[in-house]
Amino acid sequence: MTAPLFLYEFSSPYAYFSAHRINGLMPMPVRWQPILFGALAQSIGKVPWSLQLGAERDRRMRDCEERAAALGLPLTWPRDWPLGTYSVLAARAALAAGEQGLLREFSLEAFRVGLGLGQDLTDPEVVWDAARAVGADVDALAAAVERPDLKAALRDATETAARRGVTGVPTVEVGAERFWGDDRLEDAARALGASAD
C-alpha cells in the first residue's frame, strides 16, 4: 500500500502541531511534502483566516495558543504573521534537505524556529541556521534551492495538491481520501489502519 502523504506549509500553526504528532499516530511511515499554501489558496480563490483581520482571527489565534500549550509546544507568532512564514525559500530548502535524507528533521526545525520561536523564515540566515542545526550541508542546500528542477518540483507538488482538491494545510492523503486539519489526523490514522487490514 502507498504510504500516506502529509502536505504542510511553514506558515500554518495546525501543520506545526501535526508535524509533531503524525509519525506517532500513523501505523506506517509517512511521506512528507511541503507545498506553497499561498499559491494554493490563490489558485482556488481562498482567503485564509490568518489574513482576515478581526475578532474571528483573534479567536483562532487564541485557540492555536491553547492547542500549543496542551501539546507542550512553544508558539510565538512571528512579526507580520503569516507573511513572515510564507517562505518559498524554506519550502525549497526542505526539499533540498530531503535530498540529504533530512526532510523531516529540517521541517521540524523550521517549524520550531518559525512558529515556535517567532523567527522570520523569509530570512536566508534563519533558514540556513535551521539547516545547520540538523546537520545538513548548507553549501549544498544553498546551491540546490536555486536549481530549476527543484523549483519545478515544489510548483508541481502545489499544483497537484490543488488539482486533487486540497484546500488547506495540513492535509493527509490516504489513498484517494483527504483529511484536512490537525483535528483529522486520528481519522486519517484510522482510515489507514482499515485499508491495511
**What is the tens place of the pLDDT at every residue in 51-64?**
998 999 999 999 99
User: In this predicted structure, what is the pLDDT of residue 195?
Assistant: 67
Residue 170 in grid coordinates: 495540513
Say yes or no to pLDDT of 196 above 90.
no
For the chain, percent of residues with pLDDT exceeding 90: 87
Domains and CATH numbers, the chain: 5-196 (3.40.30.10)
User: In this predicted structure, what is the pLDDT of residue 80?
Assistant: 86
Say yes or no to pLDDT of 185 above 70.
yes
Say yes or no to pLDDT of 197 above 60.
no
Which residues, 6+ apart, have CB-to-CB distance to 10 below 8 Å?
A: 16, 34, 85, 87, 90, 91, 107, 110, 111, 114, 115, 121
pLDDT tens profile 130-158: 999 999 999 999 999 999 999 999 999 99
- Give the pLDDT mean for 161-177: 95
Q: What SS3 class is residue 172? A: strand
The pLDDT-based confidence of 86 (bands split at 50, 70, 90) is confident
Rounded distance between C-alpha atoms, residue 75 and residue 16, angstroms: 9
User: In this predicted structure, what is the pLDDT of residue 73?
Assistant: 98
Rounded distance between C-alpha atoms, residue 140 and residue 154, angstroms: 18
Instruction: Quote the mean pLDDT of the chain.
Output: 94
